[in-house]
Amino acid sequence: MFIVFGCLIGAAFGSFACCQAWRIRLREEQRKDPGKRSVCLSCGKKLKWYDNIPILSWIMLKGKCRKCGKPIGKAEIFAELFGCVSFGAIVWSFLKDISFDGRLFEAISEVNIPEMITILAAMVGLMIVAVYDGKWGEMPVSILLFAIIMGGIYAMIGLIQKGFSLENIIQVLGAVGILAGIYYLLYFFSKEKLVGGGDWILCVCLGLLLSNWRLALIELFLSNFIGAVVMLPMRQKKIAFGPFLVVAFVITFVFRDYLVSALMIG
Ligand SMILES: [Zn+2]
């Protein structure tokens, strides 16, 4: 039930992320007031509530505006599906070790609610950054800052719960250092040709959220792997890396326990 609830909220936030990305773009780049209601970007028709239901409306309208028939855009349905799957999976990763014997409140009290809320809040920011980067190859600074603050809170909750030992602190700093450090070097030496200036700042947030340098290495490998598999057939010169970093982050985060224990033995 909680996982289904996570999926529904995730789809709604995926839709919200797209909407916010467009609003930030209109406000900051074109100095336009986006208005309060959602509109079709081609003809300006105000959307009715039933045309604004995540995933379902896109399928019913076949990805086209009801009035003018222009395509709504693939980023919208991708973000909604990604939000749905990633929120559901993240909620699952917090519930999977909880034993449920019929007593609901005892089971809920075992869930790490502060960590779960913080990571989901960070995910909203990360999805906005990913959509924005995918569409325009830049990242909005205000949202990056929000995601980093959420990452900082998440890392702090972890340290408070696990204790401020030198080893735990090194885990967090190591994760940030590996991810942000390598992306900063790539950015610096390739003079923005390989990775953009936003990528290493995004990596500060992802490092904080992973809080484990082994997981940071997995994230590094996975994001590059997914990026290569998706982008190689397209032969584009400039690659927006944000979406791949965020997708790889969700996979790494959801399977964090298995990955860490697998790496510890090896
Ligand atoms: Zn339209």
What is the C-alpha separation between 119 and 227, in angstroms, rounded? 23
Report the chain's mean pLDDT, rounded to a whole number: 88
What is the C-alpha separation between 118 and 75, in angstroms, rounded? 25
Higher-confidence residue: 266 or 9? 9
Residues near 148 by beta carbon (within 8 Å), at least 6 away in sequence: 201, 204, 205, 208
pTM (two decimals): 0.91
127 CA from centroid of ligand 1 (Å): 25
pLDDT in tens, 55-76: 888 888 888 888 888 888 788 8
Give the residue extent of every domain in the chain. 1-111, 114-266
pLDDT in tens, 91-122: 999 998 887 777 778 888 888 999 999 999 99
Q: Which pair of structure tokens corresponds to residue 174?
A: 């190591």
Q: Which pair of structure tokens corresponds to residue 109?
A: 């009290």
What is the C-alpha separation between 255 and 197, in angstroms, rounded? 28
- Per-residue model confidence (pLDDT) at position 265: 62
- Per-residue model confidence (pLDDT) at position 214: 92
Residue 38: phi and psi, rounded to 5, are: -75, 135
- Per-residue model confidence (pLDDT) at position 237: 65
73 CA from centroid of ligand 1 (Å): 12
223 CA from centroid of ligand 1 (Å): 35
46 CA from centroid of ligand 1 (Å): 9
- The answer on pLDDT for 54 being more than 90 is no
Place of tokens 């590059």: 224
Higher-confidence residue: 37 or 259? 259
